[in-house]
Amino acid sequence: MEISAFVLFWAAIFTGNILLTYFLGMCSYLSISKEIESAFGLGIAVAFVLIVTSALNWLVYYYILIPFGIVYLQYIVFIIVIAAFVQFLELVIERYTPSLYYSLGIFLPLITVNCAILGVGLFMIIRKYSFIQTLAFSAGSGIGWLLAILMLAAIRRKLKEKMVPAGLRGAAISLIITGIMALGFIGFSGIVQIQ
Amino acid sequence: MKDSFWFPIVFMLINVVLFTGILAVMFRYSEEKIETYETSSYQQKILSTLSAKIGEVTQQSPEQIMAAYPGSFEKYVQKLEPKDFEREVYKAVVADTVVAYCFEIKGNGLWGSMRALVSTSTDFKTILDFAIVNQQETPGLGARIEEKWFLDQFQNRLFVVNPESKDDVTQSYEFIAETQTPATDRQLRRVTGATITSDSVIKMLRAEFNYIYDYVRSNEL
Amino acid sequence: MTKKEIFINATFKDNAIWRQILGICSALAVTNLMLNSLIMGLGVIFTLAMAGMTISLIRAWTPRSVRMMVQVLIIAAYVIIVDIFLKANMPVISKQLGPYVGLIITNCILMGRAEAFASQNKVMDSLVDGIGSGIGYTMVLLAISFIRELFGFGSIFGFRIMGDWWTAWSIMVMAPSAFFLLAMLIWIINTYYYKVKA
């Protein structure tokens, strides 16, 4: 596919935002957007995992899975690579930024099954991106995810909780806000073809 | 022992071997069954795209032709292996005359690749029928391209409109809402909420028809 | 906790979607049709039960440093086992389940329950918790897809309900509608079940 890495990078952030256009990576996004600090921490973690594991999985797919004819193990292999890397990241975060470790709670191990990460990995395969394209695409997707969670956290911060009905506070109002953002992002569809 | 350096690695390896072993065994054991089913299903799809034409020539209804599978497939359909042609192609033959061709085409959808079968007239310009073999689009959204109303839009449609062109022998199409009726033959109804997938189908058809037409210009099938 | 308490907890009090906010991605994708929700739900129930039991079984031996990889391996393995089994023996159903294979493996509920319950509790308890969580999840999915299919397609489980006079609501076909419907569901549950006060 002859799309420049530069275009892919920007498209992945805006016109094809992995969260607001493809709805991948919702669970942790909804739960951790209460505070801007933890949202930022999680966003950076997800972006980091995305870039590194996409690159690793690209190499594994083209240099191991295909040559050995075991493409049917694709899902398992990809997700184990992601799990291994998240496990490693958990050890690092627990050691160096314990406050982030506690505020993330169960959502740190859940980065492993963040559909955005596996989704980007599968996208790069089916769209047949080269290694450089994959790096640009995953970097853009990671930043796109980070921006989306920051946007939600910022909106929630400004939201006067008292004005929201009791039953809607928390996850429900986040869902509505996200729904509106998603409707807005539908306007971007078709602007740039990245596949 | 749990805290030693090697235990986690060994534990992990044992589990990986155990589970991938179970999967590999299941896979090998079921491979034949799965393949038989897939071949039969594929052949019936090919037959379905050709059944209208075959039926027309032999004075039978398409339903009768389908009901006579596998006999009707063996009788009327033959596989071709043209040199350097990178697609599967079949021909429908009645009384030693070719009445139609069927090509397997490939393209990229939103979530994954798609494979489809398209039957064409003997001059390769008109689509007789269109069927999807494989797609990985969102169930209930993009996956609706397999619905009859969407596929029927392509039946008996002249697709190669610029046979002399060197760049593109097809033309562009405009998508209208599912609920509207096409006013011109350049309008097609898209699947609601699945613009990208609908678009991917057209892209695939156009690209593949260019590939096919390019080949048949200078080669015999 | 008794088995009954575990089940009620997993299905209602600590419901995966409306309480723990897990499994949202699939809740958006498959709730356009009730049949899709049911198939996804059954797949999740089965995987939660089997993976939960297996992870619980080996929990004493699982080193902390590799536990995530082991959990994910077991979850993925069961999903693929189901996929291969169906492909060989019930190909028509397999064709329906096909697209969901990836979605079940990354469904946060599976990893979430594995981490939070199965890795720390007994085998039969994990089984009950898994089934309960799965049923809780399926309930929510069916509720949302009931509305989405009825207003978006005019049908229920594929049976046409609305007559020709009905104009389908396009928004119900698109994913954002699931956001709004789920938000409303949570609102109702919060107000009447948990009785959250201002």
Structural contact between residues B101 and B216, judged by C-beta atoms closer than 8 angstroms: no
Question: At residue C98, does pLDDT exceed 80?
Answer: no
Residue with tokens 């996956």: B143
Show Cβ contacts of residue B145 under 8 Å, excluding neighbours closer than 6 positions. B132, B135, B137, B151, B191, B194, B197, B198, B201
Report which residue type is found at B171. Q
> Under a CB-based contact definition with an 8 Å cutoff, are residues C127 and C52 in contact?
yes
Q: Which of C66, C177, C187 shows the shortest C-beta gap to A167?
A: C187
* Distance from the B152 Cα atom to the nearest Cα atom in chain C, whole angstroms: 20
Distance separating the N- and C-terminal Cα atoms of chain C: 31
Over residues B61-95, the pLDDT tens digits come to: 989 999 998 999 999 999 999 888 889 999 999 98
Is the pLDDT at B114 greater than 70, yes or no? Answer: yes
Residue C147 within a domain? yes
ipTM: 0.81
Q: Do A106 and C116 touch (CB under 8 A)?
A: yes
Q: Is the pLDDT of residue B194 over 80?
A: yes
Check CB contact under 8 Å for B27 and C84. yes
Q: What is the mean pLDDT of residues C22-28?
A: 83
Q: Is the pLDDT of residue B1 over 80?
A: no
Interface check for C65 against chain B (CB to CB < 8 A): the answer is yes
Chain B residues in contact with C32 by the CB 8 A cut-off are 139-141
Strands C155-156 and C159-160 come out as: antiparallel
Output the CA–CA distances (angstroms, integers) from residue B118 to A97, A144, A152, in the order listed.
58, 39, 46
- B30:C100 CB<8 A: no
pLDDT band of A114, cuts 50, 70, 90: confident
C83 Cβ contact list (under 8 Å, min separation 6): C94, C97, C98, C101
Give the DSSP letter of residue B78: E
- The better pLDDT of the pair C175, A134 is held by A134
Asked if residue C1 has pLDDT above 80, the reply is: no
Q: Is B101 part of any domain?
A: yes
Mean per-residue pLDDT over chain B, rounded? 89
The full length of chain C comes to 198
* pLDDT band, residue B2 (cuts 50/70/90): low
Can you give the pLDDT at residue B23?
Answer: 86
Q: Among A36, A117, A130, A124, which Cα is nearest to A79's? A: A117
Residue A194 scores a pLDDT above 80: no
How far, rounded to the nearest angstrom, does the alpha carbon of residue A50 sit from its chain's CA centroid?
A: 7
For A167-176, B22-31, C94-103, C143-152, which range has the lowest pLDDT when averaged over its residues? C94-103
Residue of chain B nearest C96, judged by CA positions: B139
Average pLDDT over residues C99-118: 82
How far is residue C18's CA from residue C140's CA, in Å, rounded to a whole number?
8
Residues of chain B with C-beta less than 8 angstroms from the C-beta of A73 = 20, 23
Q: Confidence class of residue A192 from pLDDT cuts 50, 70 and 90? A: low
Which of A84-88, A115-119, B124-128 reaches the highest mean pLDDT?
B124-128
List, in sequence order, every residue forming a beta bridge with B92; answer none if it has no partner.
B77, B100
Dist. CA A39–CA A149, nearest whole Å: 6
Answer yes or no: is pLDDT of A141 > 90: yes
**B120 or A103: whose pLDDT is higher?**
B120
pLDDT at residue C180 in the model: 92
Question: How many residues are there in chain A?
Answer: 195
B1 falls within a domain: no
DSSP A72-103: GGHHHHHHHHHHHHHHHHHHHHHHH-HHHHHH
What's the pLDDT score for residue B152?
93
- Quote the DSSP letter at residue C167: P
- For the cut 90, the answer to whether the pLDDT of residue C140 exceeds it is yes
Q: What pLDDT is attached to residue A109?
A: 79
Question: C85 pLDDT exceeds 70?
Answer: yes
Rounded Cα distance between A135 and C48, Å, is 34
Instruction: Identify whether C197 is part of a domain.
Output: no
pLDDT of residue B127: 94
Contacts of C176 (CB under 8 A, 6+ apart): A179, A180, A182, A183, A186
pLDDT of residue A134: 93
Residues ≥6 apart with Cβ < 8 Å to C101: A75, C79, C80, C83
- Report DSSP state, residue B51: H
Of the residues A101, A113, A123, the best mutation for testing chain C's interface (the one with the most C CB atoms within 10 Å of its CB) is A113
| Phi, psi of B174, deg, nearest 5 | -110, 135
Note whether B112 contacts A126, CB cutoff 8 Å: yes
pLDDT digits (tens, 9 = 90+) for A7-64: 889 889 988 888 888 888 888 888 888 888 888 988 998 999 999 999 999 999 999 8
User: Mean pLDDT in chain C?
Assistant: 86
Average pLDDT over residues A62-88: 84
pLDDT of residue A1: 54
The percent of residues in chain B predicted with pLDDT above 70, rounded, is 98
Q: Which residue has better confidence, B82 or B221?
A: B82
The confidence score (pLDDT) of residue A106 equals: 73
CA–CA separation, A162 and B48 (whole Å):
62
Q: What pLDDT sits at residue C175?
A: 77
Identify whether the C-beta of residue B136 lies closer than 8 Å to the C-beta of residue B113. yes
A76 near C CB under 8 A: yes
**How far apart are the C-alpha atoms of B218 and B202, rounded to whole Å?**
25
Instruction: Tell me the two tokens of residue B91.
Output: 């021909």
pLDDT value of position C144: 93
Question: Would you say residue B160 lies in a domain?
Answer: yes
- Give me the domain span that covers residue C176: 3-192
Decide if B164 is inside a domain. Answer: yes
d(C-alpha A19, C-alpha A49), whole Å? 16
Whether the per-residue pLDDT at A189 is higher than 80: the answer is no
Q: Cα–chain-centroid distance for residue A165?
A: 30
Residue pairs between chains A and C whose CB atoms are closer than 8 Å: 135
CA neighbours closer than 13 Å in the CB half-sphere of residue A150? 13
CB-based contact A82:A117 (threshold 8 Å): yes
Residue of A nearest to B203 (CA): A195
Q: Which of B108, B113, B195 sits opposite A189 (nearest CB)?
A: B195
CB contact under 8 A, B112 and A122: yes
pTM (two decimals): 0.79
What does the pLDDT look like over C32-71, one tens digit per residue?
888 888 888 988 999 999 999 999 999 888 888 788 888 8
Domain ranges of chain A: 5-186
- Which structural domain, as residue segments, surrounds residue B84? 6-218
Strands (E), chain A: none
Q: Which of B19, B23, B140 sits opposite C36 (nearest CB)?
A: B140
**Start-end of H helices in chain B:** 6-58, 62-67, 71-76, 148-152, 195-218
State whether residue C168 sits within 8 Å of chain B by CB: yes
Contact A28, A42 (CB under 8 A): yes
**Is A86 an 8 Å CB contact of chain C?**
yes
Report if residue B154 sits inside a domain: yes
Mean pLDDT of B154-165: 90
Residue matched to tokens 């906010």: C21
Q: What is the pLDDT of residue B155?
A: 92
| Cβ distance of A72 and B27 shorter than 8 Å | yes
- Is residue C134 pLDDT above 90, yes or no? yes
**Sole residue written with tokens 């096909």:** C98
Q: Which residues pair with B89 in a beta bridge?
A: B80, B103
Tell me the pLDDT band of B3, cut-offs 50, 70 and 90.
low
Mean pLDDT on B133-148: 84
Instruction: Note whether C92 contacts B: Cβ–Cβ < 8 A.
Output: no
Report the amino acid identity of residue A15.
Answer: T
Å from C19 to nearest chain A CA? 9
For the ranges A93-107, A130-144, C89-103, the one whose mean pLDDT is highest: A130-144
- Would the pLDDT of C99 be above 60? yes
A176 touches chain C (CB under 8 A): yes
The whole-number pLDDT of residue C198 equals 59
Rounded-to-integer distance, Cα A125 and Cα A123, Å: 5
Predicted local distance difference test score (pLDDT) of residue B89: 93
Which tokens hold the place of C63?
């080193």
Please indicate if any CB of chain C lies within 8 Å of the CB of B11: yes
What pLDDT score was predicted for residue A58?
Answer: 94
Please give the Cα distance from A30 to A172 (Å, whole number). 9
- Asked if the structure places residue B21 within a domain, the reply is yes
